[in-house]
Structure 1
Amino acid sequence: MKLIAFDADDTLWVNEPNYVNVKDKLCELLSHHIDKKTLSHRFYDAQIRNLRLFGYGAKSFILSMIETAIELTDGRITGHEIQQIIDVGRQLLDFPIDVLDGIPDVLDTLSQQFDLMVLTKGDLFDQESKIARSGLAHYFKHVEIVSEKNEQAYRGILKRYNVQPSEFVMIGNSLKSDILPVVHIGGRAIHIPYSVTWEHERVSEEHLVGKSFTTLESARELIDLLTKMTTTDVL
């Protein structure tokens, strides 16, 4: 192994529950205009539609909230209500970083043996801010923030660092972004599921058939697994 990469959101620290909380607040703010089920569906549609324009992250999320509110109220929403939505969404830009259990100990141990990378997707400013606020930045030799995590993105990063897929390990919670693209290019992947997964990141069982990767219950299991990988091909 030449390079071990960690996803950031919901792998190193809690992220998705903060977005769920803000969406619930949006539903509360607009409850006198529209029911929660309809709003949730339309908001998700807006998010997916806007990914191409605004990418991932808090700013895209806030813009999608405003757009959804305008659409579902036929433009009747007031400036005051839009300001309330912005204020609620702004919480996503500076929420306290809740590092997941065992992560500091694991990174402290692994960083003494391997070159570690944070490999995350989303808004550059947003992700850089979370990395800085996490207090974990010093464990990582490299940081890569990309607009999308697909096969092309992974190949480009490996080429830039002169690392072969077989020498690369990706660790993350998202099967769609962290695991399958790496498996497809011949890399090794370790899946650590998180309790909350955004709908866009979910993968059906049929897409996992024949795919070889390792699943762990906790980051604390990484040290033993990666130590074994230095002498045996366990993945």
Structure 2
Amino acid sequence: MTTRMLTTIGFDADDTLWQNEQFYRLTETHFTDLLSDYAEGKVVSERLLAAEKRNLQHYGFGIKGFTLSMIETAIEITEGNVPASVIAQILDTGRDLLSHPVETLPEVRETLAALADHYLLVLITKGDLFDQERKLAQSGLGDFFHAVEIVSDKTAVTYRRIFSKIGGGPERAMMVGNSLKSDIVPAIAAGSYGVFVPHELTWVLEHVEEPTEAPRFRKIERLGELRGVIDSLG
């Protein structure tokens, strides 16, 4: 396969192009403080994670589902006696997340600018529709992308559909992201290259083993190394 045969590059958004998980961590810390009279912080975090797992099938990924999971956890831990003032503060923290300024990660703009004239760039992200559209608009990166796909989940089927519609099919595509579970493993299963760019903070539900034996798996430490990976395919 030559570099020219690569037609399409998909990019994850949260914690690949801009900061995201750190704001969830700060919000969770505030949430555990709110419930400190009822349970230890570790217990609150464990119960919150369990609620998030249960609720993914109902609310999907994103801030709104996270906020509802916090409310549910507060009700459970207080055995239904959570003060209305605490519920109000939880709602406020959710709104704060939905309006947080976008912090673009290092080397993102330069990398996208270098690739946009040579490949079809596609933003492929999951989460709240309005929130992801807001962050893309505020990031100033929208003009680099030929298409934007905001999906409910990322599976091999998702990548086959997107890369068959945009570009020359999944075999001629690459997916770049910080989540092995969502960005890399399913993209490789679809027949694409998967380039893993680790972030120091990754949600525990996104952790899986690196597919080191997969021929199309690549790992880089920073996004600025991506052009080198692409060049090496030839």
State the TM bucket, normalised to the shorter chain. Answer: over 0.9
Partner of 1:124: 129
Distance 1:125 1:88 in 2: 17
Alignment of 1:24-103 (within 5 A): 24-103=29-108
Give the one of 203, 210, 213 matched to 1:210.
213
Deviations 1:121-162 (CA, angstroms, capped at 9, x unpaired): 111111111111111111111100100001111122123236
How many equivalent pairs are there? 228
| Kept after mapping to 2: 8 A contact 1:103/1:220 | yes
Question: What runs of 5+ residues in structure 2 fail to find an aligned partner?
Answer: 1-5
Report the alpha carbon displacement of residue 202 of structure 1 after superposing the two structures with TM. Answer: 0.4
Paired residue type of 2:224: R
Q: 1:191 to 1:90 in 2, by over 3 A?
A: same
Instruction: Using the aligned pairs only, state the percent identity.
Output: 42
Distance 2:191 2:60 in 1: 27
Partner of 2:149: 144
Q: 1:125 to 1:175 in 2, by over 3 A?
A: same
Paired residue type of 2:30: K
Partner of 1:195: 200
Distance 1:155 1:224 in 2: 25
Decide which moves more: 159-168 or 188-197: 159-168
Report the alpha carbon displacement of residue 210 of structure 1 after superposing the two structures with TM. Answer: 2.5
Report the alpha carbon displacement of residue 225 of structure 1 after superposing the two structures with TM. Answer: 2.3
Cα RMSD of the aligned pairs, angstroms, is 1.2
Q: 1:55 to 1:16 in 2, by over 3 A?
A: same
- Structure 1 position 159 matched with structure 2 position 179: no
- TM-score, normalised by the number of residues in structure 1: 0.93
Partner of 2:25: 20
Q: 1:214 to 1:204 in 2, by over 3 A?
A: closer
Paired residue type of 2:186: P
- Structure 1 position 226 matched with structure 2 position 233: no
Question: What runs of 5+ residues in structure 1 fail to find an aligned partner?
Answer: none
Give the one of 103, 109, 113 matched to 1:104.
109
| Kept after mapping to 1: 8 A contact 2:8/2:163 | no
Paired residue type of 1:18: F
Partner of 1:179: 184
Paired residue type of 1:93: L
Paired residue type of 2:214: K
